[in-house]
Amino acid sequence: MASDPQEPDKKNSWVQMANYAQLAVIFPAATVVGWLIGVALDRWLHTTWLYIVGLLLGIVAGFVELIRTAMKNSS
Amino acid sequence: MPEQLLFTRLLNHWFAGPTTAMLQALHIQPQYREAPITNAVAMEVLVVALLLVVFIMVRSRLSVESPGGLQHMFEGVNGFIEGQSRDVIGHHSERFTPFLVALGLFILIANLFGVVPGLESPTGSPVVPLGCAICAFVYYQVQGFKTSGVGYLKHFLGPMWWLSPLMLPLEIISHLARLMSLTIRLYANMFAGDMVTLVFFSLIPIAVPVIFLGLHIGVALLQAYIFVLLTTVYLAGAVATEH
């Protein structure tokens, strides 16, 4: 197969597009997952505050993933 | 009882008894005992059956001298996914190609079922994208452990040891969030595509819905591609080894 010099860039831009498509969902998804884990732990351990910890960790995890993906794509 | 497609009705007619018995043996109570198989499950069965028949046909007619149209098409699909995973993962990515091709074709055919009269997209129901996402999630975690052994757990501990108590829950949430984001993106896009087509069919049943059917086909192709591409990106992260 003849190699096109622009092909890696083109493929790379598809990977970037997929990563950016992920950015829109990853932050709310991480927040909901953190909250769900907190709620599950609250039910399991009969506590009433772990859902807040889960929610906060979810928000932080969302930001970390957001920044990580953005930095990976911009570098 | 919800409306059943013809194929769902057939499956329920033949297999309702054994399916209900199997579910009850697993302590799951089906909502409708006489119709435990839902449209989404029936469509999944149809997609798998269709793919199996096509793969058997291609396998039986494989030829180096005079490859047929189907062989050309599947070689193209396989080559495309293989080339892409080589670009994203690097060398030794060939072992992931069978899984990625199977996943991509399953999602693509499932998405395209929505434009065939009498069928519906199983991916328009949240359980099917969730199942695909769980497959992708389990696969890349297993490949991570296969590549790095117990050392794979270092991926969850962050770059500095003193940060690891904080990084571990964050990484676990991040990985589970990927599962959720894969599910929601595919489900929401296919559900919205189905709804838009349905609404325009009921408003203006002539000509106009064709535009939205075209849009639905475009979304079906793009979403299948994004799902496979993101799975490849996650795989690349899981099998990456630090030098």
What 8-state DSSP symbol labels residue A65?
H
Residue A50 token pair: 């772990």
* Residues 11-30, chain A, touching B (beta carbon < 8 A): 11-12, 14-15, 17-19, 21-22, 25-26, 29-30
The pLDDT assigned to B90 comes to 84
- Residue A8 pLDDT exceeds 80: no
Distance of CA B21 to CAs B7, B9, B24, B40, Å?
Answer: 21, 18, 5, 20
Confidence band for A2, pLDDT divided at 50, 70 and 90: very low
Q: Do residues A29 and B175 lie in contact, with contact meaning Cβ atoms separated by under 8 Å?
A: no
Interchain proximity B184–A29, CB inside 8 Å: yes
CB pairs under 8 A between A and B: 67
Q: What ipTM was estimated for this complex?
A: 0.81
Q: Which residues contact B30 (CB under 8 A, 6 or more apart)?
A: B19, B20, B23, B24, B36
Query: How far apart (Å, rounded) are the C-alpha atoms in residues B224 and A45?
Result: 40
- Residue A24 pLDDT exceeds 90: no
Residue B153 token pair: 């757990």
Tell the burial category of B108 from Cβ atoms under 10 Å away from its Cβ (0-12, 13-18, 19+): buried
The pLDDT assigned to A3 comes to 42
What amino acid occupies position B234?
Answer: Y
pLDDT digits (tens, 9 = 90+) for B54-90: 999 988 888 888 888 888 999 999 999 999 899 888 8
Kindly report the pTM of this predicted structure. 0.88
The pLDDT assigned to B118 comes to 86
Q: Do residues A16 and A73 lie in contact, with contact meaning Cβ atoms separated by under 8 Å?
A: yes
Which residues of B lie inside 8 Å of A (Cβ-Cβ)? Answer: 83-84, 87-88, 169-171, 173-174, 176-178, 180-181, 184-185, 225-226, 229-230, 233
Q: Do residues A24 and A65 lie in contact, with contact meaning Cβ atoms separated by under 8 Å?
A: no
Q: What share of chain A in percent tops pLDDT 70?
A: 80
Between residues B186 and A6, the one the model is more confident about: B186
The pLDDT assigned to A11 comes to 56
Q: How many Cβ atoms are within 10 Å of B75's Cβ, its own excluded? A: 13
Phi, psi of B12, deg, nearest 5: -65, -35
Contacts of B174 in chain A (CB under 8 A): 30, 61, 64-65
Residue B42 token pair: 């029936």
Q: What is the mean pLDDT of each run of 10 residues along chain B (243 residues)?
A: 86 90 89 87 94 92 83 91 89 90 95 89 93 96 92 85 87 93 93 87 84 90 93 90 60
The pLDDT assigned to A1 comes to 38
Confidence band for A5, pLDDT divided at 50, 70 and 90: very low
Domain coordinates of chain B in residue numbers?
A: 38-239
* Interaxial angle between packed helices B69-89 and B208-239, expressed in degrees from 0 to 180 and rounded to the nearest 10: 50
